[in-house]
Amino acid sequence: MSFLGFGRPQPSSEEKIAAVQAEMKLLTQMHDRLTKACAKKCVPNEYRESELNKGESVCLDRCAAKFFDVHMKVSELLQQEMQQKGAGGGSFGFGG
Amino acid sequence: MADPTPPSAPGATLTPAASAGAATNPGATYKAPKPNPAFRMMGIPVLPRKLPSRNWMIFIAVTSSISAAIIYDKREKKRATARWSKAVSHLGKELISNPNQMPRKLTIFLESPPGDGLRVAQDHFTEYVKPILAASGLDWEFVQGRKEGDVRAAVAERIRRTREPETGAQTQDELVQEIRKKDGTPEYHGMRGDIVIGRHTWKEYVRGLHEGWLGPLTPPQIPEPEVQKEPEVQKVEETPVFEGSEEEKKETKPEEKPEKKPERPPQPPPYNTTNDYPTSALPMLIPSEFSPSAPIGFPHILGFSNTFIRTRRFFTRRYLADDVGREVAAVCFAAAREYREDTNITQSEQQTALEHEERDWVKSVWKERKPEEGEEKESSTPVVPAEKIWASPMVLDPRIAMRMRRFEIQPEEEARAKEIVVPEEELEGWIKGSLRSLYRWAISKPEPNPSWPDE
């Protein structure tokens, strides 16, 4: 095991970078989606002032919080599903 | 058809030709309104000559009047809500001075009404309260209770946390607060506010205030909740063990699921009773006035025999929307006053607020109490019966009651809100809206087409 463990990190510099890049990409995508969704919901298209007003800022706050909430929930469910699928395929075809 | 020609009636029996000739002479003036040739060319038929039959008339009249009442009420309800949200919208349109500044945050107390679920309370909030809050640019958080005593426990626990000397951060809110403190995010220092929806929540809210400020900081000694806690701890320990071997986990899954249901933490028991109020001392750091509150009506009546009452309420929801809107707008404007004392009845306003709603509650709220208590007294088990906050009268301690404040709308604000006219276009639904847009499109000047000759 330890050999394997040592063996793994050797090509890591590239792999790690790739993994970090993938994660960054994921994060940026999520950020993009969040910005888009919340701006669409909260900021009207008539830009009268340069600043946000109170209503908009609160709306953005709540929107972002909801977004992350939903994101967490969905990813949790997805993980569960994946686990169940993996377990079901591994042992027997009982997908409760 | 034959009525306008009674003299020709005997002739009609003789020959059809004669009757036709007789009918044309007097009927010439009667039949005069010929169908408009333009309409006829377009294939639009003539209007029917007679009214539909009596039964049809009854049906049409009843249906259309009911639907008209529903539509009218719905639109007026929308109008009332929209008016109040317009009245507060200037608060939301203020520019933010410092982007890090926390907004004013309200707390909304929701609880499932007696005999029903939490959802109806949430729907009530969404329908009547939320539009106005959303327009006002205030932030809010929820305290939601599913059964009697939840709100009481939550209110008391929050107060106890503020009373307690600095202990380690425990709840997620407190963690967030600490991060904010570290970052130097400015707190909101103005008036906060509590919106309490429904009489049942209001009773618990008041009880929770008393419990939090007058009760001890340490929970009372009850063996029962500890017993409940232990299996939970075991469960948490057990689950990772099962995850190790997949097959075992699979097998135990069905058993686990029913166990998971009571995972919701048990409701903390009340730390004091209403009898303890006069003897308990006020904590040192009690503020001279609490954050103001607004009890907001939540008419909710169940039962088939109450169908007429329910129908009436259904058709007059516009008044409810207006009342609720006024209360919520008062919260947004943050003008508060003391709770008044009724001079003649010697009941304070806290006790009488929304009192009429108690009559709507299901009987079981009042009834269940006696047999349950009797049983528990007979059995004399250590299990403390759940406190019946809804059914018992509200007990106030003057020291707490004088610190409570109530939101009230200023008359000038109310007058200003009355002036606001909500344009019809903001209220109308899909049908009228699409008709209007169709009309707009029809009368609008066509787009200048460059290929057309310029006129």
pLDDT score of A22? 93
For residue B232, what are the CA distances in angstroms to B239, B252, B259, B266?
11, 17, 10, 10
Beta-carbon pairs below 8 A across chains A and B: 57
Region of poorest pLDDT, from B49-63, B116-130, B200-214, B262-276: B262-276
Tokens matching residue B192: 């906060």
**Polymer length in residues for chain A:** 96
Q: Does A29 touch chain B (CB under 8 A)?
A: no
pLDDT at B240: 37
**pLDDT > 80? residue A6:** no
Of the spans B20-34, B44-58, B177-191, B198-212, which averages the highest pLDDT? B198-212
Over residues B306-325, the mean pLDDT reads 95
Mutual orientation of helices B223-244 and B246-260 as an angle, nearest 10°?
Answer: 150
What percent of chain B stands above pLDDT 90?
A: 40
| pLDDT above 70 as % of chain B | 76
Listing DSSP states for A4-28 in one string gives HHHHTTTTHHHHHHHHHHHHHHHHH
The number of helices, as runs of H, and strands, as runs of E, in chain B is 20, 6
Edge-to-edge strand ranges of the sheet holding B336-338: B139-145, B105-111, B193-197, B293-296, B405-407, B336-338
Structure-block tokens of residue B450? 């460059």
Closest partner CB to A54 (pick from B94, B249, B253): B94
The fraction of chain A above a pLDDT of 90, given in percent, is: 50
pLDDT at A3 over 60: no
Of A59 and B373, more confident: A59
Of the candidates B113, B130, B117, B76, which has an alpha carbon nearest to the alpha carbon of residue B320?
B76
Q: Quick one: which H or E segment has residue A2?
A: helix A2-7
Give the right CATH number for B63-219+268-380+394-422 from 3.40.50.10330, 3.40.50.300, 3.30.70.20, 3.40.30.10: 3.40.50.10330
Angle between helices B54-92 and B307-315 (to 10 degrees): 60
Task: For chain A, give every domain's residue range.
Answer: 2-88
The CA distance from B56 to B62, in Å, is 10
A51 at B interface, C-beta within 8 A: yes
Q: How many residues does chain B have?
A: 455
According to the model, what pLDDT value does residue B380 have? 46
What pTM was computed for the model?
Answer: 0.76
Do the chains contact at B254 and A96, CB–CB below 8 Å? Answer: yes
In degrees, rounded to 5, the angle at the alpha carbon of residue A59 between the alpha carbons of residues A58 and A63 is 120
Where residue A4 falls among pLDDT bands split at 50, 70, 90? Answer: low
pLDDT-based confidence at residue B248 (cuts at 50, 70, 90):
very low
Rg of chain B over all Cα atoms, to the nearest angstrom:
33
* ipTM entry: 0.71
**CB–CB of B250 and A51 under 8 A?**
no
Contact between B252 and B138 under an 8 Å Cβ cutoff? The reply is: no
pLDDT digits (tens, 9 = 90+) for A8-55: 555 678 888 999 999 999 999 999 999 999 999 988 888 877 888 888
Chain B residues in contact with chain A using a Cβ-Cβ cutoff of 8 Å? 89, 91-96, 99, 103, 134-139, 246-247, 249-250, 253-254
Residues in chain A closer than 8 A to B253 (CB atoms): 96
Nearest to B293 by CA among B24, B55, B108: B108
- Extract the tokens encoding B418: 């009355």
The ranges assigned to domains in chain B are 63-219+268-380+394-422, 226-266
Selecting from B89, B137, B247 the residue whose C-beta is nearest the C-beta of A58 gives: B137
Letter string b/e over residues B397-417, b meaning 16 or more CB atoms within 10 A of that residue's CB: bebbbebbbbbbbeeebbeeb
Q: For B234-255, what is the mean pLDDT? A: 38
Ramachandran angles phi, psi of B268, nearest 5°: -65, 140
Per-chain mean pLDDT for chain B: 80
The verdict on a CB contact (< 8 Å) between B94 and A53 is yes
User: What is the Cα–Cα distance from B121 to B200, expressed in whole angstroms?
Assistant: 11
Q: What is the mean pLDDT of residues B281-300?
A: 90
Give the residue with greater pLDDT, A95 vs B36.
B36
- Work out whether the CA dihedral B133, B139, B145, B150 comes out positive or negative: negative
Average confidence (pLDDT) over B445-449: 80
Look at the block and give the residue holding tokens 């009987």.
Answer: B363
Lowest mean pLDDT among A66-70, B192-196, B275-279, B296-300: B275-279
> In A, which residues are within 8 Å of B249 by CB distance?
87
Nearest CA-CA distance, residue B256 and chain A, Å: 12
Q: In terms of Cα–Cα distance, which of B449, B427, B359, B445 is closest to B73? A: B427
Q: What is the mean pLDDT of residues B351-370?
A: 83
pLDDT at B272 over 80: yes
User: Mutual orientation of helices B150-163 and B199-214 as an angle, nearest 10°?
Assistant: 30
Instruction: Evaluate whether B122 touches B298 at the Cβ level (below 8 Å).
Output: no
CA–CA distance from B384 to each of A13, B16, B120 (Å)? 63, 96, 30
Using CB atoms within 10 Å of the CB of residue B12, give its burial: 0 to 12 exposed, 13 to 18 middle, 19+ buried.
middle
A44 CB within 8 Å of a chain B CB: no
The predicted structure's pLDDT at residue B376 = 47
pLDDT for A94 equals 45
Interface test with B, best of A58, A59, A68 (most B CBs within 10 A): A58
Q: So what's the pLDDT on residue B109?
A: 95
Which pLDDT belongs to residue B40? 78
Answer whether B135 sits within 8 Å of A55, measured CB to CB.
Answer: yes
CB B155 within 8 A of CB B215: no
Determine, for residues A52 and B96 on separate chains, whether the beta-carbon distance falls below 8 Å: yes
What would you report as the CA-atom Rg of chain A, rounded to the nearest whole angstrom?
21
Six token digits for residue B133: 């809050």
Between B151 and B453, the higher pLDDT residue: B151
pLDDT at residue number B311: 95
CA B104 to chain A, closest CA, distance in angstroms equals: 9
- Per CB-CB distance under 8 Å, the chain B contacts of A56 are 92, 137
A53–B95 CB contact, under 8 Å:
yes
Thinking of the domain A2-88, which architecture would CATH place it in? Orthogonal Bundle (1.10)
Scan for tokens 């349109």, then name that residue: B93
CA B316 to chain centre: 15
Retrieve residue B268's tokens: 């903390």
The answer on pLDDT for B241 being more than 70 is no
